[in-house]
C-alpha cells in the first residue's frame, strides 16, 4: 500500500495538472478564435474580391504562414507557462531546464527524467496529455481553415461569396 506522502504528492500533481490542461485548452481556443477573426476572415473577404490566380495563391500562402506562425506561438506560450509552473512548484530549479523539459513533454518526445525532481515526474506525463490535445486541436483548426480556403480558391470567381 502506498504511503500517505506518496498519495499526497500524486494528488498534488493532478490538482496542478488538470487545471493547467484546462487553462491551456481555453487559451488555445480563444487564440484560435482570434486568429480566425483577424487572419482568416480578412483573407476570406480578400478572396471574394480578387480574381487574379497569383493574388489568390499569395493570399493562401499568407493565410497558411500567418495561421501556422500563430499556432507555433501558442505552443511556445504553452511550454513557457508549464515551465514557469515547474519552477514555481520547485519541481525544476532552473527556468531554462524547465523550458527544455516542458518542450520535450508537450511534443511527447519524452525526457530522461533527470531534470525534474522524482516526486514531480507525473506532471510530465500530464503535460504530455495536454500537448497531444493541443497539437490535435491545432491540426484540426488549421485543416478546417485551409480546407475552407481551398474550396474558395477552386470555385469560379462568380461562385465566391464576399
User: Which pLDDT belongs to residue 54?
Assistant: 72
What is the pTM (predicted TM-score) of this model? 0.82
Give residues with Cβ within 8 angstroms of 83, minimum separation 6. Answer: 92, 95, 98, 99, 101, 102
Q: Where are the domains of the chain?
A: 4-154
Q: Give ∠ CA 42-44-47 in degrees, rounded to 5.
A: 110
Q: Consecutive sets of 10 residues in the chain, 162 residues long: mean pLDDT of each?
A: 70 91 95 87 71 74 89 95 95 95 89 83 92 95 88 66 54
Distance CA 14, CA 26 (A): 18
Q: Considering only CA atoms, which of 70, 45, 80 is closest in space to residue 59?
A: 45
pLDDT score, position 160: 52
Number of alpha carbons in the 13 Å side-chain half-sphere of residue 5: 1
Name residue, grid cell 519552477. Answer: 87
Amino acid at each position: 500500500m502506498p504511503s500517505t506522502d506518496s498519495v499526497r504528492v500524486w494528488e498534488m500533481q493532478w490538482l496542478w495538472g488538470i487545471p493547467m490542461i484546462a487553462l491551456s485548452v481555453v487559451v488555445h481556443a480563444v487564440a484560435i478564435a482570434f486568429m480566425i477573426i483577424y487572419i482568416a476572415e480578412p483573407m476570406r473577404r480578400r478572396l471574394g474580391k480578387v480574381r487574379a490566380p497569383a493574388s489568390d495563391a499569395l493570399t493562401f500562402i499568407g493565410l497558411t504562414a500567418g495561421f501556422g506562425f500563430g499556432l507555433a506561438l501558442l505552443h511556445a506560450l504553452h511550454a513557457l507557462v508549464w515551465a514557469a509552473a515547474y519552477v514555481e512548484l520547485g519541481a525544476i530549479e532552473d527556468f531554462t531546464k524547465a523550458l527544455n523539459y516542458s518542450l520535450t513533454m508537450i511534443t511527447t518526445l519524452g525526457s530522461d527524467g533527470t531534470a525534474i525532481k522524482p516526486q514531480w515526474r507525473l506532471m510530465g506525463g500530464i503535460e504530455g496529455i495536454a500537448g497531444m490535445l493541443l497539437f490535435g486541436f491545432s491540426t484540426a483548426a488549421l485543416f478546417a481553415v485551409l480546407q475552407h480556403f481551398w474550396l474558395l480558391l477552386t470555385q469560379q470567381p462568380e461562385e465566391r461569396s464576399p
